[in-house]
Amino acid sequence: AWVPVPMSAIRVASGGASAQDAEQMRALLAAYGAHANVQVADSGEIERRLRSAVDAAPDLLVILAGDGTARAAADMAGPQGPMIAPLPGGTMNMLPHAVYGAVPWREALTGALERGVERDIGGGLIEGRSFLVAAILGAPALWAPAREAVREGKLGLADLAGGTFTV
């Protein structure tokens, strides 16, 4: 049986991931005989941690984070890079739900390790920015800064309809 040598990145600042998830992920991967270098990162260091993980050329890069972080990891890995296992750790989790169904990250990772198969994921490019599975376009895309500000506890938003935000 193939045992991956993953490098895992957990984005603590995302909507559904926590610091406790790092130890749980280490334990789960160890139970399958996989050596894991689990890295915990906040939003300020996630890009550097992802680059380091991709450059280490693991068999599998496990991402417990939001859709944007999973997309960034896929962009960095490219078609020749490591396989990406995007686990639901964000707010919307459209990508992991498309891959594994709407299941908790532990169940998705267990399924990937036991029955995982490589598969292509739909996506595209709009004005030089990639998207996977789906994209939020038009006026709703302007709500992202407000959503992130609320997540960070900065509730002083103004003029949401006009697309400007004061935080």
pLDDT in tens, 59-108: 889 999 888 888 899 889 888 888 899 999 888 888 898 899 999 999 99
Q: Give me the sign of the Cα torsion angle 8, 133, 153, 108.
A: negative
Element housing 8 (H / E): strand 7-11
Could you tell me if 4 and 37 are in contact, meaning their C-beta atoms sit under 8 angstroms apart? no
pLDDT tens for residues 2-26?
556 666 767 666 666 777 888 899 8
Q: What is the pTM of this model?
A: 0.75
Take residue 83 and report the two structure tokens written for it.
């396989």
Q: What is the C-alpha separation between 96 and 99, in angstroms, rounded?
A: 5
Sheet holding 83-88, edge to edge: 37-41, 7-11, 60-65, 83-88
Query: Phi and psi at residue 62, in whole multiples of 5°?
Result: -95, 125
Higher per-residue confidence, 160 vs 122? 122
More confident residue, 131 or 158: 131
Q: Tell me: pLDDT of 141 over 50.
A: yes
Tell me the residue type at 78.
Answer: G
153 has a pLDDT exceeding 80: no
